Each structure stands twice: as C-alpha cells, then as structure tokens.
Amino acid sequence: MSDTKPDSKDASASTGASNFIRHMIAQDLASSKHGGRVQTRFPPEPNGYLHIGHAKSICLNFTVAAENGGHCNLRFDDTNPAKESQEFVDSIKDNITWLGFQWHGDVRYSSNYFDALFDFAVQLINKGLAYVCSLSADEAREYRGTLTAPGRNSPDRERSIADNIDLFSRMRAGEFADGTYSLRAKIDMASPNINMRDPVLYRIRHIDHHQTGSTWCIYPTYDYTHCISDAIENITHSICTLEFEDHRPLYDWILHNLDIDSLRAVSDLADSDYDYVLPEQTEFAKLKLNYTMMGKRNLKEMVETGVVQGWDDPRMPTLAGMRRRGFTPASIRNFCESVGVSRSESVVDLSMLEHAVREDLDKHAARAMCVLNPLKVVLTNLPSGHVERLSMANHPKDESMGRREVPLTQEIFIDRADFEESPPEGFKRLVPGGEVRLRGAYVIRCDEVIKSSSGKVQELHCSVDRDTLGKNPEGRKVKGVIHWVSAELSLPVSVRLYDRLFNVEKPDSKDIEDYRTCLNPDSLVELYDCFVEPSVADSAVRHFQFEREGYFCVDAIDSTPERLVFNRTITLRDSWSV
RNA sequence: UGGGGUGUCGCCAAGCGGUAAGGCACAAGGUUUUGAUCCUUGCAUACGUUGGUUCGAAUCCAGCCACCCCAGCCA
C-alpha cells in the first residue's frame, strides 16, 4: 500500500524535544565517552508482530543515532528458537522499513555470534566464573531463595575447571538431554538482586533454530547474549525498557569479566582506530496506551481465539494492523516523538494518537465524497439525463494536489443523518422546506418528503437554485453544507467503521477477570451500501478524507477492482455531538 | 519485613537552586461551500507528603506515603 506522500520518507533527524536520553548522549559526546560515537540497536525477538509500543523504541533508537551522526543496527535477539520463526523476522523487517527507518548495514542476529558466545563462556569457565550445574529447573528455583531469603549454593558450584570444560563441551556435543545441565555464572547466591544469584548462561535445547538450523543444541540466555552482542557490534548506548533495570548489574558483570582484548578482537571495530569502549545500558518507560492491550501474549491470544481477524486486523495496535487501518508512518513517528521519553510509567491517552493521524492526514489526504447511509434525493428542476461535471479541489489548502471532476445528476444520494424532519436545536443540515448547500455544487431546497407506508423517509424532492454555483445566494444565508454523490454515476463500495477495541481504559488491569467482557461491540461496523464519487476509482492515492465523515483508506487486502473496500482510519473531530 | 525504580495541570512532558515550557484534552471567540482545518484567548501561587538547608527549592538533604518491576534453564 502506498502511503501519503511527502514527509513519509524522511524519518531521520528531527528537532527532538528534550529528554533524558538526548541529554545523556549530548553529554557523552561532549566528554568523548565513546570516542564520539553513537551506535544504537533495535533488538526485537522474532516471536511476534511489532506493535505501537515497539514503534516508540524504534523511533527512539533510530532517531537518536541519526541526530548524532551515528547508526542504528537491527538485531534479532534470537536465543530462544522454541518461540521464534522466520515469519516474524520477515514481518519485523517489513514493519521497520515501512515506518521509514533503514538499519545500518546487514541485519544482525544474536545467532551470528553463537561461536563467539561459546568461546567467551569457555573463558568464563577458565576464569572460575562459570560452572556447569546439574540442578533441575525446579531444584534451581528452590536453591535460588526468595525475594527476602538468600539462595543456597549449587552442589556443583565448586566443580573443577577441567570438569566444567569437559561437561560444557559435551553439552554442546549433544550428549545430554534437555534440562540435565546448564551453564551458570558464579556470582553470589545471596545477592539481594536475584539476577545475580548464579544466573543461567546456557541451556540445553535439542531443537532447530530458524537461522542456524541444527548446528546447536545448547542456546545462550538473553542476559548472557545481549551484552556481548552489544559489545561485538560496538553499541555505545544500549537502550531498553525499565524492567531490565535489575539486569544491568549482570550486563556489566559479564562484560567486565571478559577479556577486553578478545572482546575487541571479535567486534565490528576490531581493525579501526576507535578506542574500544564497553556499551552501557539505559532504561526508559515503555509506551502504554489506554483502551489498548499491548502485551504480546494477549495480542496472540486475540488472534488465535478469533477476537480479531489476524495480526493485521485494523483494530490491533500492531504496526501491521495500524497500517491496514490507514495510519501513516509519519503519523506514528510524530506520535512517538510527541509522547516523549522518560522513566515514569505513564499511560498515554488515545486522543494523542488520534491527533497525530488527523494532523498528518489532514495535510496529505485527498478529499472526496462518500455517502455512508444513502438517502435518495431527486433534484426536480434538473432534467433526467442531466450530467454536470463539477470541478473540485482535492485539497482545500494545497493546490498541488490538483482537482477532480464530480458528476452531478438529477438523482443523488445524501446521508440519512443530514436530513431531519424534526431537527434538534442548532441543526444545520437539511430540513423540510429548508435549504442546504451541496458541497462544491448548488444550494438546494427540500420541497417534499416522500415516505413509505411505514412512515420511513424514502426520498426527498428538492429544487436546485441554479444561481448558487461558486457563490452565495442573494439576500439569505445558507449555513449548512452537506456531501453527496450522484446516484447513477457513483461507485458502490463497502466501508468498515472502526472504533476502539475495548470500552474500558485498562483492559489488561488485574481487576478485569476476562478482557472479553469489555470488548467494544461496535469496534467494527461494516457497511455494504455506500457510494463514493467515481474519481476515487482511478486515483493513485490510497488515503482519503471523505468530507465530513473522516479519514479512510483502501483496504489493501479485501479490495478488488470491482468492489473497493474502505477502512475508516479515524473520524473527523466533531464539535457537533448529538 | 530484600533489591531496583517512579511521583510536576484530566493525559503525556520540559525543568537540573533564582521564582512552573510545550503538546493532547477541555472551554470561549473569529474565519470557513467540510459543524473539519486554521487563528485568538483561557486552562498548576502550584511541583506525592512532612520537615530541614538557603536571601531564594519542583530543583539540595532527611523522614513518610503511593504506585511499578524482580524469585523463567522467556526476552
């Protein structure tokens, strides 16, 4: 799908708002802490689809690097093959590109570093800083202690270096079953930080890996892998979310206990003149949005149980879903920038996201008219067979977007909501005997209301004031303007009206037993009897503002040349709430 | 009752000892052939709380309170 043109492209450097990460980097640059370099990375695990929360991290990492003449790597943190797949790496790459970012060089994988990781593990063993443990997972949990009680040393903690080397080699060779042994760091079983109680570095998993196939049957853990991968890639600022804060001491412990020269030797900058400086981790608060569930587990479950129609369901907070819904890359980037970066866990109001899309779409979306709930209007003083091609601007403020022709015929459709027999106070649309402007065309007067036997309004007979094209009528003021389409020369289309998926602010709150109880029954309303002006059929653009209704985009999947399907991205702001 | 964090307007968020930026939302005007956009105006004597230091504190210190994260061989 093509997105609204102009600034969708340049996702790089912008005048960013002040935040603590930018401050830190400015200071580090000033003090030449990392040799004046800025190198970041976005490290997703390919175990699901990216969502708007990931977008915040992507924007942060890529933007902050670009602003400072640095680079951002894309590295798949693929150390748990049981949960990962190629499908996810493909979608993640696609989403990042769509968002408008280009990673530095080739895509990286932690699995690229499995050999080096193994060698460093041997190094730790040789330094007496790691050992092979035979405790089962359950036993290990028991030995670990609790939040308030210290743990106990593993009976294998003092195993000899030679035995550890032997066992670790045999783990790699596939001699042992899953779970029989693990490699653990020897740190401190009494540490108040549970991550430091001899964390597991390697576990045995006889399972193929999406990148390395059957080469390995032992896989390194996140804590062990991430810091070394950062060091290998010469990352300067390893930015992650708050829940990893307690892992930082371990991140540092591993790096500081490895021989720095051997680390440097396998790093990207091994042959450069740069000083070799270890990466440092900094944490920020992840994005939370009200009326939205963000957890991968929850999203996955909604997909699998059919609450939504897939990862790219337009109601999903996934980038794939938002893209299909009609969000533009720029709108998401602007949103992420406007939300800021801090360490306080906050819940952003959905209205901020809505503002960001409207802002971008208002500027770039072509205007068109589409009648969602048609009510036939006969323009009685126009001859049947009358076809008048009216020229209208595609954008009220941007002539460069050109013009289009909209046919006016004797019979037209207007929206049922734009006619009221007994209008409420302040109603500015069509009423019996009243006048209203047809957008881009004439002022009409409602002369007659035709009803069915049941009393339902069937059609309206109106007369056109031929002297009102491009000018106001003499001597009276017509306040209302409504949209319309030709009954004969318009395209029947389907329209999907989307709204928030949940009707409570915190669908993932513990107070809610089952999120299914707070699903918004109107999150999707499908209309099959809509009519859009013919110009959209041969338009190259995919995003439109259907005047007075909202922003819509052509559904990239279900649309056919015979029948277009539109998704409502977001309504227009509406200060006329009925 | 262990450790690590966070508390500035309804929601985000600047501020880093010199007397509370900005955005969203909201409200009131103006423009308008979209009740849209755009424009103008308003919107925290107040920075979780209590004390202390200081000529001066949201900013420094101490205590207290609230909330979040950690006991995966997940990331």
* Tens of pLDDT, residues A436-465: 999 999 999 999 999 999 999 999 999 999
A369 touches strand B (CB under 7 A): no
CB A466 within 8 A of CB A442: yes
Q: Dump the DSSP string for A136-153.
A: -HHHHHHHH--SSS----
**Averaged pLDDT for residues A233-237:** 98
Residue type, A310: G
Reply yes or no on whether the pLDDT at A79 is more than 70.
yes
The DSSP symbol for A320 reads H
Query: What are the residues whose beta carbons fall under 8 Å from the beta carbon of A403, sequence distance 6 or more?
Result: A391, A392, A393, A394
Task: Give the residue carrying structure tokens 């110009």.
Answer: A535
Predicted pLDDT of residue A15: 60
Res. A578 pLDDT band, cuts 50 70 90:
low
Residues 236-295 of A with CB under 7 A from strand B: 242-247, 285
Reply yes or no on whether the pLDDT at A155 is more than 80.
yes
Instruction: Write the ipTM.
Output: 0.97
Q: Dump the DSSP string for A499-537.
A: --SBSSS-TT-TT-S-GGGGB-TTSEEEEEEEEE-GGGG
A358 touches strand B (CB under 7 A): yes
Residues 149-178 of A with CB under 7 A from strand B: 178
Cβ-in-10-Å burial (0-12, 13-18, 19+) of A578 comes to exposed
Res. A511 pLDDT band, cuts 50 70 90:
confident
A199 touches strand B (CB under 7 A): yes
Q: What domains lie within chain A, and their CATH numbers? A: 11-108+224-350 (3.40.50.620), 114-222 (3.90.800.10), 368-489 (2.40.240.10)
Residue with smallest Cα–C1' gap to B22: A17
**Nearest nt (C1') to A193 (CA)?**
B3
List the one residue out of A434, A432, A467, A468 whose CA is nearest residue A450.
Answer: A432
User: How far is it between the farthest Cα atoms of chain A?
Assistant: 102
Predicted pLDDT of residue A11: 40
Give the residue, A513 or A442, on which the prediction is more confident.
A442
List the one residue out of A61, A82, A371 whose CA is nearest residue A221.
Answer: A82
Beta-carbon count within 10 A of A346 CB: 13
pLDDT digits (tens, 9 = 90+) for A260-296: 999 999 999 999 999 899 999 999 999 999 999 999 9
Reply yes or no on whether the pLDDT at A518 is more than 50.
yes
Percentage of residues in chain A with pLDDT exceeding 90? 94
Q: Which nucleotides of B are covered by protein (CB under 7 A)?
A: 1-8, 10-16, 21-27, 33-38, 68-75
Reply yes or no on whether the pLDDT at A3 is more than 60.
no
**Averaged pLDDT for residues A234-256:** 98
3-state secondary structure of A325: helix
Give the whole-angstrom CA distance, residue A567 versus residue A578: 24
Distance CA A141 to C1' B32 in A: 69
**Averaged pLDDT for residues A401-408:** 97
**Averaged pLDDT for residues A149-172:** 98
Residue with smallest Cα–C1' gap to B7: A344
**Averaged pLDDT for residues A352-369:** 98
Percentage of residues in chain A with pLDDT exceeding 70? 97
Distance CA A264 to C1' B22 in A: 44
Predicted pLDDT of residue A6: 35
Predicted pLDDT of residue A16: 79
